[in-house]
């Protein structure tokens, strides 16, 4: 749409395509949330209820990329100031983490002391999801929030609601 407006009306519209986002106000619904908020909710509930284990689907081997919502906001402001082009730009962290590493990190941040159990009878899904954000990085933008710091921020928000 931005390309069409740019061409038809000479309007300086740009488009940024974000990777998997997370942060405060995410969707933590038990049935329709994405992997990161789903893990956070499950570990939180297990901790509060005193469960001994949390079961996670798959092997933990798929790789994913995540970006904190505040970094997305920063990237959008950066792009409005520094970019004027026809093609969209991918907005990602450029860093991959396995679902296993993510689950261990969420477990740590939440403070769940039980066991992490992998249900390998469940599907892993797509093996790898990493965007090429090199064009944005070449313009000079970098994410500022590490995955761990972003998880801490998100969990503080979740623990308050």
Phi, psi of 129 (to 5 degrees): -135, 100
| pLDDT tens digits for range 38-53 | 999 999 999 999 999 9
Q: Is the pLDDT of residue 161 over 80?
A: no
Neighbours of 68 (CB within 10 A): 23
**For the chain, how many residues are written?**
161
**Would you say residue 156 has pLDDT above 90?**
yes
User: What pLDDT is stored for residue 160 in this prediction?
Assistant: 78
What pLDDT was estimated at residue 159? Answer: 79
Predicted confidence (pLDDT) per residue in 50-98, tens digit: 999 999 999 999 999 999 999 999 999 999 999 999 999 999 999 999 9
DSSP symbols for 60-91: S--EEEEEEHHHHHHHHHHHHHH---SS-EEE
What confidence score (pLDDT) does residue 94 get?
96
Beta-bridge partners for 53: 115
Distances (CA, A) of 135 to 27, 87, 88: 29, 11, 10
Residue with tokens 């261990």: 104
C-alpha to C-alpha distance for 74 and 67, rounded to whole angstroms: 11
pTM of the model: 0.93
Please report the pLDDT score of residue 137 as a whole number: 97
**103 pLDDT above the threshold of 80:** yes
The residue ranking higher by pLDDT, 6 or 140, is 140
CB atoms < 10 A from the CB of 146, how many? 12
């Amino acid at each position: 749409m931005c390309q069409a407006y740019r061409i038809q009306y000479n309007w300086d519209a740009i488009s940024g395509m974000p990777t998997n986002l997370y942060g405060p106000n995410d969707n933590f619904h038990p049935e329709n949330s994405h992997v990161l908020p789903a893990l956070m909710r499950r570990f939180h509930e297990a901790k509060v209820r005193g469960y001994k284990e949390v079961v996670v689907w798959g092997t933990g081997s798929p790789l994913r990329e995540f970006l904190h919502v505040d970094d997305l906001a920063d990237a959008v402001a950066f792009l409005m100031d520094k970019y004027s082009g026809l093609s969209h730009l991918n907005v990602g962290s450029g860093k991959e983490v396995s679902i296993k590493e993510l689950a261990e990190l969420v477990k740590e941040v939440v403070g769940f002391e039980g066991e992490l159990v992998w249900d390998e009878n469940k599907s892993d899904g797509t093996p790898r999801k990493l965007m090429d954000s090199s064009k944005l990085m070449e313009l000079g933008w970098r994410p500022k929030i590490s995955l761990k710091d972003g998880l801490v921020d998100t969990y503080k928000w979740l623990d308050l609601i």
